[in-house]
Amino acid sequence: MNKSSNNDKSHPPAMLDFGNFDLVFGDLSPFPFTRQWAQQVEKKRKEYDGVLFLDRVLAALNIAKASKVYPPKTEKDLRQLHHLVCDASNVAIHHKLSILYYILLDVDSRLEEQSPGSTPSTRADSFAADAAVPQKYSIFIKGLWYMDATNFDQALEHLTHPSLVPEFADEIVTALARIDNTASSSSSLQADESYSPVLAYYYAVQPVLRTSAATNILFDAISRSSVSEALRYSRARPQFMREQLFKRLVLSVIDDSSSSKNGGNDSSDDVVAERAFELTSASLDAQEEEWFRDALLGSEGRKVRVAKDTLLMRRIARGDAGPVSEKGAWSSVLEGFKQGSGGRGMQA
């Protein structure tokens, strides 16, 4: 989050004295934050490798010490958290208000859990209105709050809002990819199953990713959804990234075929064969042809049994597979993919 001075005169003064704890939080009797709730938050923090999205915001604003009292287990903790946020130097007012808004979302959620069936608590939205929290900040923070709560459908609805400039995009992509991995490990591979939270976020926001790790995660999701789209994505990258991504695509296709033979069903086997067909029949330039062979004949490719099938499929597509009937060859090789057998005799 971009930091600016508290003396930013372009921002209108808050209508609410947000430094007044009682005005911000109101009546907290009984205290809504239980130890059981705090344990649940800490569990989710561990699932995010020890860093919630709130922690990332606090660190970006140089008030990471506030993370030490979140989640608050007592009113004393909550008061200390409020104090650390309000007294932070060189942090714009709207950023402070946004963090308080996040905490009030927790309050609302806890009050509703403690009084099911009652009128929903609206302290967070009332605070946002009274303190003049800019809408784009409340939308963004609510999206991050939903990410931390692992309510990803609602998170995407907020984080893809057109008023927002993508922030924490690498971290969001990484977090959303975990949903894909969990879903794919518990269900059979389907052709368009991976039009996933990662892709929904990417296509809506079009973020520029900073890290190779996040780029690879996104590319893997694109590859599972569409080989042709993955090719287009790789071709739009700088040269040094393009080769790496292309080879990653090739290996992902043959790795899927190898995985398919271990407990795959007919539907997933068909998808694997279709992806292999799409890749090997694609229009490739001279560099990509070389990378294709390098990927399959390299140390990683040679470990996969269907690497030779893949090379043969490419030769058939190029029309240089020898005097074998094309129809018969495709049928035979695709069946080999579906069965996971890599025993096609073919000299590369």
Q: Under a CB-based contact definition with an 8 Å cutoff, are residues 66 and 27 in contact? A: no
The 10 Å CB-count burial string (b at 16+, else e) for 170-199 is bbbbbbbbbebeeeeeeeebeeebbebbbb
Closest Cα partner for 96 from 81, 111, 106? Answer: 81
Q: What are the angstrom distances between the C-alpha of 52 and each of 41, 115, 145, 146, 197?
A: 9, 27, 9, 11, 18
Q: Under a CB-based contact definition with an 8 Å cutoff, are residues 82 and 92 in contact? A: no
> pLDDT tens digits for 202-233?
999 999 999 999 999 999 999 999 999 999 99
What whole-number distance in Å separates Cα of residue 143 and Cα of residue 167? 11
* pTM recorded for the entire structure: 0.82
Q: Residue 200 is encoded by which pair of tokens?
A: 């929904």
What whole-number distance in Å separates Cα of residue 119 and Cα of residue 106? 16
Q: Is the model more confident about 27 or about 10?
A: 27
Q: How far is C-alpha 156 from the chain's CA centre?
A: 10
Q: Residue 188 is encoded by which pair of tokens?
A: 């059979």
**How many CB atoms are located within 10 Å of the residue 101 CB?**
24
Q: What are the angstrom distances between the C-alpha of 330 and each of 111, 220, 277?
A: 62, 26, 9
> pLDDT tens digits for 76-93?
999 999 999 999 999 999
Q: Under a CB-based contact definition with an 8 Å cutoff, are residues 75 and 22 in contact? A: no
Half-sphere exposure in the Cβ direction for 348 (13 Å, CA) = 18
Give residue limits of the domains in the chain. 21-149, 240-348
pLDDT at 338: 52
- What three-state secondary structure class fits 130? helix
Q: Return phi, psi of residue 283, to 5°.
A: -80, 115
> pLDDT tens digits for 161-204?
999 999 999 999 999 998 766 555 444 444 444 458 999 999 99
Q: With bands split at pLDDT 50, 70 and 90, how would you rate the model's confidence at 334?
A: low
Q: Return phi, psi of residue 33, to 5°.
A: -95, 105
Amino acid in the structure at residue 265? N
pLDDT at 274: 85
